[in-house]
Structure 1
Amino acid sequence: MFKLNLKIALRNLWKNKGFSLINIGGLAIGLASCMVLLIYVAYEWSYDKQFTNNDKTYVVYQNSVANGKTFSWAWTPNAMANEVQQKITGVKYASHSTYPNPKLITVGDKKINSKAVFADLNFVKIFDYKFIKGNAQQVLKDINTIILTKSFAEKLFGTQDPINKTVKLENQDVLKVSAVIEDVPANNSIVFECLMPWALFEKRETWAKELNWGNNMCLTVVQLKDNAFFSKANAEMFGVYKRNQKGNTAEALLHPLTKWHLYSDFENGKSIGGKIDQIKIFLLLAFCILLIACVNFMNLSTARSEGRAKEVGVRKAIGSSRRSLINQFFLESMLITFMATVLAFIFVEISLPYFNNLLNIKLTIDYKNSAFWFVLFGLMIFTGLIAGSYPALYLSSFEPIKVLKGLKIKSDSSVSVRKVLVVGQFVFAACLIICTAVIYQQLNYVKNKPIGYDKSNLIQIAVRGKMADQSKLELLKTQLLKSGAAANVTLFSQDITESGNNTMDVSWEGKTPGESILFNNRGIGSDFIKTIGTELVSGREFVINSVNDSNSTMLNESAVKMMKLKNPVGAKIKFWDNDRTVVGVIKDFVVESAYQKVAPMIFFPSSTWGASAVIVRLNPNQNISSSLEKIDELVKEIEPNYPVNRKFVNESFEVKFQDEKLLGTLSNWFGGFAIFISCLGLLGLALFMAEQRKKEISIRKVLGASTGNILTLLNKDFIKLVAIANVIAFPLAYVVINKWLSTFDYRVSISFLPFALAIVISVLIAILTVSIQSIKVAKANPIDALKYE
């Protein structure tokens, strides 16, 4: 019986090639879209889950109340790991490490900037990286050793065995390669190319030797013996700061490693979400696109009901049961789904490199993973059953006597169901159009919102090696200005687009007792305001290298407002037990998130603070390429042992919008696919309606109706469906997009424009799709439809 049903199914597919191609193509696009989204979701979901005991591993977070709210971050003091290891119940290992930082690694003539991490021995016990060469139990014990990843070892040594060979760190420390590990997966929160002992970090940064509880300078990771200890361990963590430093009101908590990437947003000291919210959106998008493809299949299959009615009547008349007919139609559905799945695989393989390049990630299909095949098989069965359910039940319900006597089958109920399905498709399509439009409005609004300085033609150069000397920096500044490549030059204590370096240890006259305010603190050079293109609100800038300004400070507008200073210039403040005088106020400019309000900020002279970046305003009258070449040449003259590390500020600033750009891009692409599939569903309904009203249209033509009259008649019904879909979609889209926008301090207001865009696009799509079939019917010779009457 199965063989016979298969032959019938194949014959029907071949006989109706046009319908078959549309059905298979629609399902293939739906399945491919769903698969790509699920692969992306799986990639994000697997973050930090590559380790054996990932479920027992936790990141130590600090909660600090300041500025009227609770700040949470995964930065802790260097004393935290030892305290946790010795005094917290159920702890198996506790480790502290630096976050990945760029470090120069040299082998012979090869000088490569690498992502480096300094960590203690427990780090490789908690994160059990796969060791290719070397002893996992012996690494990180010797201060002058280094662990390399496989690909980085190949960059340095090619095909040679790197074990026991030496490399030079930052042109200073000679280190012996003690081990080689597999590359750290890209979907890992801590990605590095080389790993070095914590003792080496303390040797290079002598201030890190002193254990203290006031400097959050490292990552602390904890692994419990069993999760049964979690509640007690986490309760004990709350009092760590109070027990070790008098007056320290901060609190510590254990945040699961497996949730670190997806649940990174905190509110009032508790995790409230983060990337997981975006993942939920993509899961919903994947499900809805697949559902739309299934609805499209239903509409197209039942649109051919007239053609298959006699087949069903004959088969029932010769003894076929309804069950056997249902099996027949389900088999056809599964066959089409199988073909669509094969085609979807081709689409996915072709599109993945494009999406990887577009999203800057590494999505792949793991064909060796049994879970992948299990999910794929389940997805295919689910799609086949859902898509084939309504056609199987509907087509198998025809009464043989009525069909074989030539009576018209009643289709009112089926048309109603199909209309509901089409409305459902366009509800989703309209929601996507509105949401995508608002996402792009929000992205453009924040990107074009004044950020307080001019980031165009602004570059920053990392200070490395000899450049750290103040006299060398002054020499470089002089040469850059003299060369004509730079219009202005200044210094900054770190990357101008990155966060970090903050403190609550600031006091002033009139400060409310017990009040905690978190200040960003930065060192700046002379001509800072002119170079970055911001404004001096009041007072003056620093006179760099002046003894009189060694204890001077400047504030931004947010700091003045938070401190409630009526006359900020001349005000006395105390910072880290040093008395300082405010000499000027700088206009607020964005350093951290472009979506949030600018934080209070304190500035100090770079001569007393140190500089990590040279900021250069390119000369607008010079060719950019030649200016950059000249800048590189001058930097190499001062520090020839390091590659020049420079970047445009506007390119660095773009990184801040990565998540929103990703959301907008994927919504745009897959929203387009959903709309296209919806068009196929609408085409199916148009085909059915045209078939049902063929004789009516012919009579109208005989009585004098024009092609335009008939097109208006047919399109009117479909425009009604689209209008109903938009009415349903508008409140749904408004709720979703309003909730998404509520997470930003700076956000665009929801205007009528996205809704108007949804109306225009959906109506145009409906008219064009329906008209393709309607014109064919309207221009047909009425005699062909009426000659049998």
Structure 2
Amino acid sequence: MLKHYLDLSLRNIKKNTIYSAINILGFSIGIAVVLYITQYVAYELSYDSFINEAEYIYRVDHTQYTSEKEWQGSARNYLGLGPMLKEKLPDVADFCRISKNLDATRGVPLKYQDKIFYEQNVYYVDSTFLDFFSVQLVSGNSKTALMNGNSVVISTSIAKKLFGDRDPIGLVITELDNENSNRIVTGVFEDIPENSHLKFDILIPIFGDPNYKFFVQDPWYSPAWYTYVKMGSKIKYQKDINLVATSIARTYKPDFIKNQLRIVFTPVTSIYLQSDFKDELKINGSLNLVFFLILVAFLLLAISSINYSNLSIVFAMDRSKEVGLRKTFGASATQLRKQFLIDSFVTNLLSLGIAIVLYVVFSPSFNDIIGKNINASLNYIAFTGAVIGVLIVSTLLSGAYPAILLSSFKPVEVLKGKLVMNNRSFSLRKALVVFQFCMALILIIWSLFVSGQLEFMRTANIGFNPDNQLIIHNPTAYSRVDNEHRYDDYLVFKKEVLNSAAIESISTSSSVPGTEIGFTYVNSIKKQANGVYDPTPYKVMYVGYDYLSQLELQLLAGRNFSEDFPSDVKYGSIILNAEAIKVLGYSSPEDALNKYIYFQQLDEWEKVQIIGVVKNYRHVSLKSPVSPTLFYLSQDKGQQVFYSLKFAKNSPQHVISSVKDIWKKVYPGKPFNYFFLDDHYDIQYAHEKRLQLLTTFFSNVVIFICCLGLINLALFEGKKRSKEIGIRKVLGASRRSILFLLMADFLKLVILANIIAWPIAYLIINKWLQSYPERIHINGILFLVASLASIALVMLSVFLSTYKTTNINPVKAIKSE
């Protein structure tokens, strides 16, 4: 019986070759994209699933409030928090702390023999780290590998890079920034999976961190450490434990700031998709994007299925006599439904086969769009399950209604030649077409606004000039080894590069635009010596003499730092941005000029004079508001993290080559680690770029599948109306009038789809734009562009599929009927 059903299905496909081919093509593309989405969503949801007992592990974050308004939430916490929680909270079974240099552009300088390199993924960790996060050692003992302060545990990729095929256990790696720099390899672990919010290649015991000695003297001084706890059982009431931990932590903070502190427990499995704290260990994903992709997957399946259902409904007139005859000879409604569901299954199966081929061929391109190689961790069992699930869902979506409709025909009426397609069927077909184009229009309009917002952020006036700026990492920043010669070496390097015709100026800074300013001070500013603390969070930048002018920051009042003023050198002078002046309560930049404020660094208050005010600029992207910022002059301090070189409009490769030659003379054996400021600044918009690519890609796929469906319907419509067209031509109707007649019904449906889609798209876009402090305005131009484009595409599709119909010989058309 099954073979009989299959033979009938294949015969129907062969009978309607053109319609079936178009239908299968649309289905194949839709299913292929759904498979991509399914795999990507599964990958995103699998983050940190490799950790044993992950449901019991929480990262302990903190937020700080002023007047009940949160101003900063950070994934980092205090060094003393972990031991305190284990001591005070019986439910805490264990804790683990991590320290990491958050300067993603630099890393830690390391050396093995003559190989010197910067490694960004270096963690300083408690000895419990390996077991805590289920890190599998291929060499060494996980219980003792991190017990010695001079130990180091490395990944297999680092071991291969440094030692080749040699056994690394017992070999020594030198950490160039640290006095106690020689570290013995005590363990090698399998590379951490990419689907983890953790990213490390080198592990060093926590007390090997150069900053540990300072922080251990005051474990509650500053939140610079990541703290994880393992609970004895899963937390049921997270708000309650947050309140308890907050109450305990506040006892260790001074009275004037303790009420600002709040502790937050974040499940480790939800960090990647749901946490948006500052100082994340890795750039996190977006749960909203996952939901969006799931919605798109269902829409694609629905739209592809609608095409099949629509065609099946209009084919009902052709198959009505078949149904009538089969019912007359005893076929039951159930048997007929099975037949039509099998028809749908065969079409979907053929489409699925082609879709899998498309999936394999175009996987690299899709991986480029999403910025991840999701196939590297492909779970074939899960993928097979997804394929089967897609096949079942698409079969039911596309075949259920046609099966019910066609099996309900009454044989007597059919065999008498009565019209079997009632108004309800036609109304449903039109509703499905409208639904298709509503979804397509919403995606098109959103993709246009995403592109508009991205272009707005990339071309907005950011208040400085990032062009022709070569940034080099100071090889001795943070170093305990080269501290004495740091500034002298810089002056030699500065003199040499300024002798090069390619370099116009050079300066230093503790941060560069595109990277979060690392120094944040709260309750550290006073306008009078006996005044109240200012609870505003201020960012502090340490810069060289020419840094502000080199970036072309605009002075609103006052002057720049200068060697002609001794007070600048002795940290008696400060420059503020306009936002800081506003927060401090000055009426204008001129009003603030030459006034004094009191600034606390460590435990000392410094009286500093405001010598200049610069116009606000966007140190980080437009996704964040401008922060009140203070500029200090930096000379021989460790804050000279970056060298900024302004070069003439030469070939970048020529500039790099000439500067590199000078570098080798001044800093022999030090890594030449560099980047261009404009490229670095653009990295901040990687999420928006990916969203733009995805929405554009999906909207194009959806509109293409919709147009394929319309082509099929228009072809069939023209075929069924051939007699009518023939009569009209005999009576003198022109080809243009006949084309307009055939296109008019579809045009009405697309216009209706526009009317419905516009308000829905507006609500979605308005909600999305609210997440940006500065954003484009919603105007009707982009809506109109999307609408006109959709109407043009629909009319073109219908025109191409019906033009041939208008050329029919009216005599043959009438005669064939």
* TM-score category (smaller protein): over 0.9
* Deviation by residue 1:676-702 (Cα, 9 ceiling, x = unmatched): 111122223323432332222111111
1:135 aligns with 2:141: yes
SS class of match (2:684): helix
- 742, 745, 748: which one aligns with 1:720: 748
Paired with 1:714 and 1:333, the residues of 2 have a C-alpha distance of 28
Conserved in 1, the CA contact under 8 Å of 2:526 and 2:533?
no
Conserved in 1, the CA contact under 8 Å of 2:63 and 2:70?
no
- How far has the Cα of 1:393 moved from its partner? 1.9
1:497 aligns with 2:514: yes
- Structure 1 partner of 2:325: 314
- Structure 2 partner of 1:416: 427
Identity across the alignment (%): 29
- How far has the Cα of 1:776 moved from its partner? 1.6
* Deviation by residue 1:737-758 (Cα, 9 ceiling, x = unmatched): 0000011110100011111112
Letter in 2 for 1:786: I
- 133, 155, 162: which one aligns with 1:156: 162
Change (3 A) 1:157 1:558: same
* Deviation by residue 1:755-778 (Cα, 9 ceiling, x = unmatched): 111211110111011112221211
Letter in 2 for 1:613: F
Change (3 A) 1:545 1:260: farther
Paired with 2:285 and 2:141, the residues of 1 have a C-alpha distance of 38
- Structure 1 partner of 2:598: 574
Conserved in 2, the CA contact under 8 Å of 1:149 and 1:183?
yes
Paired with 1:535 and 1:368, the residues of 2 have a C-alpha distance of 55
Change (3 A) 1:546 1:570: closer
Paired with 1:616 and 1:294, the residues of 2 have a C-alpha distance of 58
Structure 1 residues 24-39: aligned runs within 5 Å: 24-39=24-39
Paired with 1:322 and 1:214, the residues of 2 have a C-alpha distance of 77
Letter in 2 for 1:568: A
* Deviation by residue 1:434-471 (Cα, 9 ceiling, x = unmatched): 11111111111111111110011112111113598011
Change (3 A) 1:415 1:281: same
Conserved in 1, the CA contact under 8 Å of 2:526 and 2:532?
no
- Structure 2 partner of 1:650: 678
SS class of match (1:447): helix
Conserved in 2, the CA contact under 8 Å of 1:90 and 1:233?
no
- Structure 2 partner of 1:301: 312
Structure 1 residues 378-389: aligned runs within 5 Å: 378-389=389-400
- How far has the Cα of 1:632 moved from its partner? 1.6
Letter in 1 for 2:231: L
- How far has the Cα of 1:205 moved from its partner? 6.2
Structure 1 residues 235-246: aligned runs within 5 Å: 235-246=243-254
- How far has the Cα of 1:400 moved from its partner? 3.0
- Structure 2 partner of 1:528: 547
- Structure 1 partner of 2:465: 454
- Structure 1 partner of 2:99: 98
1:218 aligns with 2:214: no
Paired with 1:320 and 1:633, the residues of 2 have a C-alpha distance of 88
Choose 718-727 or 505-514, whichever is displaced more. Answer: 505-514
Paired with 1:556 and 1:367, the residues of 2 have a C-alpha distance of 50
Paired with 2:153 and 2:614, the residues of 1 have a C-alpha distance of 45
- 516, 538, 543: which one aligns with 2:535: 516
Paired with 1:367 and 1:438, the residues of 2 have a C-alpha distance of 33
* Deviation by residue 1:136-172 (Cα, 9 ceiling, x = unmatched): 1112111111111112211112222222222222286
Paired with 2:62 and 2:595, the residues of 1 have a C-alpha distance of 32
Choose 698-707 or 636-645, whichever is displaced more. Answer: 636-645
Structure 1 residues 382-401: aligned runs within 5 Å: 382-401=393-412
- How far has the Cα of 1:608 moved from its partner? 5.9
- Structure 2 partner of 1:475: 492
1:261 aligns with 2:272: yes
Choose 156-165 or 227-236, whichever is displaced more. Answer: 227-236
**Coordinate RMSD, CA, aligned:** 2.3
Conserved in 2, the CA contact under 8 Å of 1:431 and 1:732?
yes
- How far has the Cα of 1:536 moved from its partner? 1.5
1:543 aligns with 2:543: no
Q: Which runs of 5+ in 1 are unaligned?
A: 268-272
- Structure 2 partner of 1:2: 2
Conserved in 2, the CA contact under 8 Å of 1:505 and 1:575?
no
Paired with 1:360 and 1:546, the residues of 2 have a C-alpha distance of 50
Paired with 1:788 and 1:734, the residues of 2 have a C-alpha distance of 50
* Deviation by residue 1:500-548 (Cα, 9 ceiling, x = unmatched): 2211132222698465100111100011122112112211222359642
Conserved in 2, the CA contact under 8 Å of 1:53 and 1:126?
no
Letter in 1 for 2:245: M
- 80, 89, 110: which one aligns with 2:115: 110
Letter in 2 for 1:373: T
SS class of match (1:617): strand
Conserved in 1, the CA contact under 8 Å of 2:475 and 2:671?
no
- How far has the Cα of 1:385 moved from its partner? 0.9
Letter in 2 for 1:572: Y
1:169 aligns with 2:169: no
Letter in 1 for 2:365: Y
Conserved in 1, the CA contact under 8 Å of 2:623 and 2:774?
yes
- Structure 1 partner of 2:153: 147
Alignment: residue pair count: 782
Change (3 A) 1:400 1:239: same
- Structure 2 partner of 1:270: none
* Deviation by residue 1:273-329 (Cα, 9 ceiling, x = unmatched): 982122211211111111111111112233333332332233222221121111011
- 180, 194, 207: which one aligns with 1:186: 194
1:565 aligns with 2:589: no
SS class of match (2:799): helix
Paired with 1:410 and 1:63, the residues of 2 have a C-alpha distance of 64
Change (3 A) 1:159 1:546: farther
Paired with 2:370 and 2:676, the residues of 1 have a C-alpha distance of 20
SS class of match (1:393): helix
TM-score (ref. length: structure 1): 0.95
1:71 aligns with 2:72: yes
1:331 aligns with 2:360: no
- Structure 1 partner of 2:525: 507
- How far has the Cα of 1:230 moved from its partner? 5.9
- Structure 2 partner of 1:19: 19
Paired with 1:228 and 1:452, the residues of 2 have a C-alpha distance of 47
- Structure 2 partner of 1:596: 624
Letter in 2 for 1:658: A
Structure 1 stretches (4+) deviating beyond 6 angstroms? none
